[in-house]
Amino acid sequence: MSTEILAIACDQQILRSYTLPFTGSVLVRNGQEVEAGQPVAEIQMPERYQVFDAINGLKINPKNIDRHIERLVGEPVKAGDVIAQKSGLISRLFRASQDGMVVAIRDGRITLALGEKKLQVLATFPGTVVEIIPERGAVVAVQGLLLQGVWGNGLNSSGELTRLEPTESAAGKKQTTADLQGKIAALPHIADEAAFTALLAHKPAGLVLGSVMPELLPALAEAPLPVMVLVGYGEYEIDTLSTAMLRQMEGQMVSLNANEADASEQSRPDLILPGKAQVSPGLFHEELQLEPGRHVRLLGKPYTGSIGEIVELPAEPEKFASGLVMRAVVVRREDELIVRVPRENVELILE
């Protein structure tokens, strides 16, 4: 059974790998401080390719094609250079339109790699480089507050965190009077697209939402700013630990990394408030498992989003209301209610 780990942690070692999909150049060194948005690694790539069919383009007899091609494979070219030509009364020329290189010549087809573009991978929060991954990137670490969510739309940004009360974000009401421009706004729930659009009109730098209705998903996915969901789909309150964390972060510069959650990579979107403390290497690999005393967040109705403490892990599987026999975890919720849920239906909280 796999237990999901959810970080809602006050003084957490946060490590993130920033790597290129290709081999490239690493731009940072071990121990270096980096800022959010700073390039960690880059690779220069051709801006575009051009394939020219010299036989048909210049009307050349295929048997004589070698006579008409002026460049060799691997040779650099400048904009305007003649690559192939057919001389005569009316000469025909094929020139490079940009600086670049000849990458292939086959059957009279000339392929040029033209221009140059940089593919960079950027740090998403300020921190210290703790490991260099040769030719690919680096691992950046920071000690700070970490609040993970369950869904993100793949974007990231930084800004001052501001919390909106439920009444300020109620469906369809443009009651939000707070200045959200350039800020990361956190609010419990968005019920419909009208409320979401109204919120976007205030130009926040990012959104942290407790829960959303399923029909809003396409709009969130397409949103031009980072959006993270903390609890899930439906109408749920933000759990008390996450609420407390948001309170601590309020008014401070935070980094919202609304990465797409990937269960196979065990990666989640998160909100980070970088601290000033030194990175403490001893905390790198903490093994977490379900055990009495640990806090968990419950999944599934009617408990979705509520927090509790594990009081027992019965050894024998139990039959649940659904009729399925599963291994249970007994949890004392914050309201002192004792509940038994399947072990699969909890997120173990890293505090």
Q: Is 23 in the site for another protein (CB under 8 A)?
A: yes
Extract the tokens encoding 195.
Answer: 């409320």
Contact 288, 7 (CB under 8 A): no
CB of 307 to another protein, least distance (A): 16
* Cα–Cα distance list, 127 to 12, 38, 279 (Å): 13, 11, 9
Size of the site for another protein (CB under 8 A): 54
Give, as ranges, the residues between 145 and 164 that touch another protein (CB under 8 A). 150-151
Q: Is 73 in the site for another protein (CB under 8 A)?
A: no
Helix H or strand E encompassing 50: strand 48-53
Token pair 């730098």: residue = 205
Helix H or strand E encompassing 139: strand 137-148
CB of 24 to another protein, least distance (A): 7
Contacts of 40 (CB under 8 A, 6+ apart): 18, 26, 27, 28, 34, 120, 121, 122, 123, 129, 137, 138, 140
Q: Which of 79, 93, 104, 277 binds another protein (CB under 8 A)?
A: 104
Candidates 122-130, 176-184, 196-204, 264-272: pick the segment binding another protein (CB under 8 A): 264-272
At residue 281, the 3 state secondary structure works out as: helix
Q: Which of 92, 109, 174, 333 binds another protein (CB under 8 A)?
A: 109
Rg (CA), the chain: 28
- CB neighbours (10 Å) of residue 251? 12
Give, as ranges, the residues between 167 and 186 that touch another protein (CB under 8 A). none
Q: Is 284 in the site for another protein (CB under 8 A)?
A: no
Candidates 32-40, 230-238, 244-252, 309-317: pick the segment binding another protein (CB under 8 A): 230-238
Q: Is 213 in the site for another protein (CB under 8 A)?
A: yes
Comparison of 29 and 106: residue with beta carbon closer to another protein? 106
Q: Which of 10, 171, 261, 330 binds another protein (CB under 8 A)?
A: 261
At residue 320, the 3 state secondary structure works out as: coil
Q: From CA 191, how far away is CA 178, in angstroms rounded?
A: 20
CB of 179 to another protein, least distance (A): 32
Q: Is 136 in the site for another protein (CB under 8 A)?
A: yes
Binding site for another protein (CB under 8 A): 1-2, 4, 21-24, 43, 46, 48-51, 53, 103-104, 106-107, 109, 111, 113, 136, 150-151, 213-215, 217, 232-234, 261, 263-267, 299-302, 304, 320-326, 341-342, 344-345, 347
